[in-house]
Each structure stands twice: as C-alpha cells, then as structure tokens.
C-alpha cells in the first residue's frame, strides 16, 4: 500500500519516557509518532535464527535499520487489551486487573487516577491525535484533536475460504484467509494510514503526538490479491514445531481449539500430536 509505504519509510517511532527532559535542557520538544501493528512478530526482520522463509517488509526493515532496534524486548501480555493498557499506563496486567480481553479498563480501581500516555503528552501541551486500534478504551479524559476508528475487513463472498475456518463445521470463523473483494482504497488500514499522513503533514503550532494503530496482520487475513501473490505456496517455509511444544499447557483447548479437535479422531491426536506429526511426550 502506497500510504503504508510512506508512513513507514518517512517517519520514526520515538518513545519519550520523560517529557520534561527537553524543556529542562532548553531543547524544543520532539514530535512523536507511535505506530502499533496488530499481531506483528520478529519474523519480518529477516533474521535466519528466527525465521528463514521469505518475508516482504522492506519499509519496516528499513525503519529498523535506521533506528534503534531492541533485540530483547518483551510484551507485558500476549493478549491485545492487557498489553495495550499496560503500555499506555505503565501498570502491569497482574496489578491493574486488566489481564484478558473483555475486562473493562474502567473497572480497574488501580488505574483510577493513573494518567494514560495520551493524557501525559496532552498535559505537556502536545497536539494529540489517534487513528485506528490503539487504546482499547484506555483514553478517557483525553481530548483528541483528530481521530478515526478502525473497522474490520468484511468477509468476501463465499467465505469461509480456507483452512481452520472451513474445518469448524463449515461455519465462518475469524481464522480465515484469502483475497478480499474490496478495492485497496476501501481497506481500513489504508484509510487510517492516509489520515495519519494528513495529520503529519498538517501545520502545527504545538509539538504533536500522533498514534496510528493498524489492524492487519490480525485475523481474518483478507487482503488484496497482489499481496497474496508475493508468497507463492511452494516458496513458503513452515517454522519448526518442537515435539514438546505444548508441555506445561494446561488449557489445551485454548491452544488448538476444541471445536477443531472434535472433528478429529481422539486416538490419532494422542498418537500424532496436536499438529498431526511429531513425537510429543505423554501428558
């Protein structure tokens, strides 16, 4: 997407932990662009120790090469809302109580009175804008100068198209992939990127803090056909799965899904493992 290319290739992600640092040293406050991409992982950095397959992500790779890359970074939670809330508040999920999706941030007594990252920048005189999936509700008390919500890509005609979505008794699930019927300009991420670029290029009499949260590659994976064409099936390398991958996982249904297991022979699952191959140890 041209807009995403421009957004990633012409800007830097800057995180400022102490906003007063610039003013205390007589420097002009820095503008800040915060990019959040759903379900992204480290494979796209073309590091063979992580993934040796083909990855087409030149703009993010260039951003990593030009900036500071953290090789030993961890998320506060592998779940969407808890990780975002922790990042924006500085309060860990186990302490705030926002430990899973569905927990309302407003129900957390710990977070009452804790200013969000947006509020902190706003209190320092910044122009604040938010586009897309960023906060998951943790932005109360913030007056955004510009904003736009994300929308999920609707399923194409004939969905479900592939894989796990079809295996669930033919019912449509979010774990589906294929070519979208929408024009690229109708994709939510394209619109969000355009809005963020417009905000970046606008005239500001204050320093700005602009956040842009892109939905993809969150499932369902419906994209224009040209992006699927970048990955011919015969060139895709599946990552290795260790035989003891699920050792220590008590809630196996949360890992592979009971709806899918019910469609398989239980004995075959026990003998071949949850992914149909391997030699997992007995539970």
Q: Are 70 and 20 in contact (CB under 8 A)?
A: no
Residue 183 pLDDT > 90: yes
- Tell me the pLDDT band of 11, cut-offs 50, 70 and 90: very low
Contacts for 163 with CB less than 8 Å, ≥ 6 apart? 175, 176, 177
pLDDT digits over 20-71, tens only?
445 455 678 899 999 998 888 777 777 777 777 888 888 888 888 888 888 7
Residue closest to 95 by CA, chosen among 108, 107, 84, 83? 108
Task: List the end-to-end C-alpha distance of the chain, in Å, as a whole number.
Answer: 46
What span, in angstroms and rounded, lies between the C-alpha atoms of 86 and 43?
A: 24
Which residues of the chain are in CATH 3.40.720.10 domains?
A: 2-239
Q: What is the pLDDT of residue 94?
A: 92
Q: What is the pLDDT of residue 44?
A: 79
pTM of the predicted structure, to 2 decimals: 0.75
pLDDT digits over 160-169, tens only?
888 676 666 6
pLDDT digits over 137-160, tens only?
777 678 899 999 988 888 899 888
Question: Was domain 2-239 assigned CATH 3.40.720.10?
Answer: yes
Rounded CA Rg of the chain: 21
Of the ranges 86-90, 114-118, 226-230, 248-252, which one carries the lowest mean pLDDT score? 248-252
Q: What is the pLDDT of residue 130?
A: 95
What is the length of the chain? 283
């Amino acid at each position: 997407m041209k807009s995403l290319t421009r957004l990633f290739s012409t800007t830097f992600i800057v995180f400022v932990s102490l906003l007063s640092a610039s003013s205390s040293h007589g420097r002009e406050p820095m503008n800040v662009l915060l990019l959040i991409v759903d379900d992204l992982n480290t494979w796209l950095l073309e590091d063979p120790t992580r993934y040796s397959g083909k990855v087409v992500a030149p703009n993010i790779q260039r951003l990593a090469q030009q900036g500071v890359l953290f090789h030993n970074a961890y998320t506060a939670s592998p779940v969407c809302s808890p990780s975002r809330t922790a990042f924006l508040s500085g309060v860990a999920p186990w302490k705030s109580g926002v430990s899973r999706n569905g927990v309302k941030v407003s129900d957390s007594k710990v977070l009452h009175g804790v200013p969000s990252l947006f509020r902190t920048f706003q209190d320092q005189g910044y122009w604040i804008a938010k586009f897309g999936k960023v906060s998951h509700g943790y932005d109360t008390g913030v007056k955004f100068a510009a904003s736009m919500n994300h929308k999920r890509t609707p399923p194409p005609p004939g969905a479900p198209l592939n894989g796990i979505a079809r295996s669930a008794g033919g019912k449509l699930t979010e774990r589906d992939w294929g070519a979208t019927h929408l024009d690229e300009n109708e994709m939510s991420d394209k619109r969000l990127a355009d809005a963020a670029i417009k905000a970046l290029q606008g005239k500001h009499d204050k320093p700005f803090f602009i956040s842009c949260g892109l939905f993809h590659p969150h499932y369902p994976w419906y994209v224009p056909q040209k992006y699927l064409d970048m990955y011919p099936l015969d060139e895709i390398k599946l990552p290795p799965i260790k035989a003891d991958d699920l050792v220590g996982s008590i809630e196996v249904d949360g890992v592979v899904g009971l709806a899918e297991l019910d469609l398989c022979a239980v004995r075959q699952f026990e003998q071949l493992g949850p992914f149909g191959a391997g030699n997992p140890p007995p539970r």
